[in-house]
Amino acid sequence: MAVDSLRAHLVEELTDLLDAENQLTRTLPTMAAAATTPTLRKAFQKHLEETRAQLVRLDTALRELGETPRRKTCEAMKGLLKEGSHLMRKAPGGMLRDAMLITAAQKVEHYEMASYGTARTYAQVLGEPRVARLLAQTLKEEKAADGTLTTIAEGSVNEAAAEEWSAQEDGLVERSALWVGRAIGAASRLTGRARRTAVSVGLAQERPRRRTPTRRASATRRTPEKRKGRR
């Protein structure tokens, strides 16, 4: 569809949002299941119900503009959800993963807030008050969802995630200290053995060696007188 007017641009934006919300309805259940914090899980579940209602509003808004909702892939939402899925796979269960889930979810919320805010303004400028009201209602929900995520993050998740890391770091330090202690002990034992070996070798070297008797010559040495008498 050619975009040759602000109205056509508005229709494109609403069509894009329609696919974005459809993608989100397929992802939110996975995010809720991955959440450890009960309040975060409930927030995702609540927003799933809101998202389904937002799909109905988008459909209504397009029909108000005389358009039939059509299929179009929202590449922005696709990328954001792919990134969120990657974050979920990187972290083990616990507060760290909850913090990552909130990061991913808030990126989605901010994208939607920008999109709905812009679309609402276009509807107002184009003299479409009913469309503007529908979009304003969804915008309000997106802002509330973002605020809830911030409250959960700042209220418990971020600090708990930091404590998890601190505990892991302390455990690593303890394990390292234990390893170093064992290594030093082993080295000390080796040094002790080496010292005892050196002392033993030294003592052996200091012992007097027994002298073996030399064999005497079988013939006596001739004196000058005896040599003279033989002449």
Q: Could you tell me the mean pLDDT of each successive run of 10 residues in the chain, 231 residues long?
A: 83 97 97 96 98 98 95 95 90 90 97 98 97 98 98 95 69 44 52 55 52 49 48 40
End-to-end Cα, the chain, rounded Å: 145
153: domain CATH number is 1.20.1260.10
Query: What count of other Cβ atoms lies within 10 Å of the Cβ of residue 11?
Result: 22
pTM of the model: 0.71
Is residue 228 included in any domain, yes or no?
no
pLDDT given for residue 218 in this prediction: 45
pLDDT given for residue 51 in this prediction: 98
Tokens 């005896």 sit on residue:
226
Is residue 189 included in any domain, yes or no?
no
Give the C-alpha distances (Å, rounded to integers) separating 113 from 25, 135, 178: 17, 10, 52
Is residue 200 included in any domain, yes or no?
no
Confirm if 37 and 98 have CB atoms less than 8 A apart: yes
Is residue 207 included in any domain, yes or no?
no
Please give the Cα distance from 74 to 63 (Å, whole number): 20
Is residue 21 included in any domain, yes or no?
yes
Tokens linked to 99? 């913090």
Is residue 38 included in any domain, yes or no?
yes
pLDDT given for residue 223 in this prediction: 47
Is residue 212 included in any domain, yes or no?
no
Range of the domain at 122: 6-158
Helices (H), the chain: 6-34, 38-64, 75-90, 95-125, 129-152, 158-206, 224-229
pLDDT given for residue 182 in this prediction: 55
Please give the Cα distance from 133 to 172 (Å, whole number): 55
Q: Give the chain's domain count.
A: 1
Confirm if 57 and 41 have CB atoms less than 8 A apart: no
pLDDT given for residue 177 in this prediction: 43
Burial class (CB in 10 A: 0-12, 13-18, 19+), 17: buried
